[in-house]
Structure 1
Amino acid sequence: MTAQWSPEAFVGGHPALDFTNTVGGFLRERLERVATYADLVAWARAAEVLAGAEAAELVALADADPDGAAAALDEARAQREALHRWLAAAVTGEESDDGDRARVARDVTEAHGVARPAPDPTRGPAWLVAVADVGLALPARRLALATAGLLASEERHRIGLCGRCSWLFLDPSPSRRRRWCSMATCGNRAKAARHHARGSG
């Protein structure tokens, strides 16, 4: 069964961060939610990384080439985890891994290598890549381009890490002291945990 993606899955404030958050879990343990290539396509469609026709085309390609789809899924997951580890280390002040930085650089470089400048970069994406260009790798390539855009913007200074789970998000607050990916989920769970601890004391 293909995973369903509710609005609560898109609290990162940017597609690249929402991509790193396709791993679930109430605490720091990262539990996989993208079990199949179809899950990846469904998420990318819900995140508006893919159009409906592109998603249908990719599902058809995956059905015709299951081994290729599995390899594309593995690559997308590896791309996601390297990006998450690198950004999380930056937010927490930990030393980042050379391999993770190299992986992010490779993903961005490869995506730009196949992308074309948009006729009008002031409307929509500045760089274009299509199914015909990269096939099953399309979601990962578009997300690498989104990553490059985020890292080239001032928004990179607003990246935060949830104090309860492993999710990354953009903090728009002036003080940049937001602690939770969402008050409706981790914020309320942390509040409930504190209440329970006081009651048990």
Structure 2
Amino acid sequence: MYRIRYFPVGGKAERWTWIGLFLSELWFSFYWLLTTVCRWNAVIRIPFIHRLSQRFGKELPGIDIFVCTADPLIEPPSLLVNTVLSMMAYDYPPEKLSVYLSDDGGSNLTFYAMLEAANFSKTWLPFCKKFQVESTSPEAYFRTASELVNVQEWLSVKKLYEDMKMRIETTTKLNQIPEYIQKQHKGFREWDFVSSKHDHQTILQVITHFINS
């Protein structure tokens, strides 16, 4: 309507310009209509996960997942633990899945939380696989689970998780790793040479390996 109402009454060049713009707008309107109609008839494809694993199980690529954090006071280690455990419990060949945590703050609180997560994963990962848990974050699972797969085992794993969470949160509030815990893993020795979270050497620790469950 805009083009029709403002048809140029001047020279020949203005009219040809108007015609070119008008035809372009008609073409783009037609193109928009075609693409919109195609989207109205959307095709939804649903993969058969079990068939994929049977067919391509040996050909699946290795996956590296990186989780980044910087400050245990802003990003609670208990939340970080749930993120890492959730990724470790992916329905993917465990020998082809690697989860890396990058802590820019170089906090020993984060390292301690990962040690707790590694110990709990020995129970959590087999539990997820055995009962085909979909919400693989322990916090989300125990908060929303409506049907208990096995009451005794469910309560046992939940208690282990709550105990781990309490230890991590208590240590975070104290902002200090108890001495008896530091003696349990040689990795804590790295922090003897850390002057501050803004000035520290590279600290690389392998906490847990492939768990065949």
Over alpha carbons, which structure has the higher Rg? 2
Higher RCO (CA < 8 A, seq sep 6+):
1
